Structure formats: structure tokens, C-alpha cells
Structure 1
Amino acid sequence: MKNQFLNPQLKRQLILIAFISLLLASALEIYVFGFPSDFIFRWLRSFFVLFVMISVTKLAIVPGVNLLVSKVAKW
């Protein structure tokens, strides 16, 4: 049996986060700067920054705080 690097649930979450980041980056870049000559590079940078921020928050910080609070509260 082949060992998968990403389980299907994590893969689905990452695809959803990427889609949300793409929409947010597009809206932000078009609203603030319009369509200048370097739109693609600005858009990609915005996408990756938003993707990393949302992914780290959703997949690492929130579960980590939840685990820490549950251990401190002994629930």
C-alpha cells in the first residue's frame, strides 16, 4: 500500500485555503493597484503571503492553542 504524504482531509483544507487566498489576493491587488505592468508578480507575492498566513493560523496556531488550553484546563 502506498503511503500518502497528505491525507485527503488536509489536502482538501489546503486547496480551500489556496482558493480563498487567491480570491483575497486578487481583490486586494485589483482594488489597491489596478492592473500595472507588474501585476502578476505583485499578485503572486500577495497570494503566497496570504496562503502562508492563513495556513499557519488554521493548521498550526489554532490547534496548538486549543491543545494547550485543554491540557491546562484538564478537560
Structure 2
Amino acid sequence: MKKQLLTPQLKRQLILIAVISLLLASALEIYVFGFTSDFMIRWLRSFFVFFVMISVTKLAIVPAVNNGVNRIMKW
């Protein structure tokens, strides 16, 4: 049987990260630049930057560090 790439828990985490990234990007762009003519392009760029930074930290770096610390502490 084929294993699913996105489990329901991972989907829920990615949706939550996307919502948080959307809110952060909106707040940053509106506070710094306001609504100018190139708002959408800058907003999408900042959304993707926040999304990648948060998702890599939450889904890759933190579990890897946790796993490494657990292995070291077993010695």
C-alpha cells in the first residue's frame, strides 16, 4: 500500500503555519510600506519567506536538534 506524503497532522501544521505567515506578512507590509502599487508582489514575497522560515524551523530543525540531544543524553 502506498504511503501518504502529507498526513492529516502535517496538513494541519502546514495550514497553521500558512495562516501565521499570512498574518505576519500582512502586518509587516502594511506597517512598513502601507498600500502602495506593488503591495501584492512584496506581500507574496514576504509571505513565502515567512512560510519557508517557519516551516523549516518547525518541521526540520527543531526535531533534528531534539533527536540529537536525545541521542547524546542516552550515553
Alpha-carbon separation, structure 2, partners of 1:45 and 1:39:
10
Aligned partner of 1:73 in structure 2 is 73
Cα-to-partner distance string for 1:15-53 (whole Å, 9 max, x where unaligned): 000000000000000000001100000000000000000
Aligned partner of 2:48 in structure 1 is 48
CA RMSD after TM alignment? 1.4
Aligned partner of 1:10 in structure 2 is 10
TM-score where L is the length of structure 2: 0.94
Q: How many residues align?
A: 75
TM-score where L is the length of structure 1: 0.94
- Which moves more between the two structures, 62-71 or 2-11? 2-11
Alpha-carbon separation, structure 1, partners of 2:13 and 2:52:
13
Structure 2 gaps of 5+ residues are none
Task: Report percent identity of matched pairs.
Answer: 80
Aligned partner of 1:35 in structure 2 is 35
Q: 1:25 to 1:70 in 2, by over 3 A?
A: same
* SS of the residue 2:5 aligns to: coil
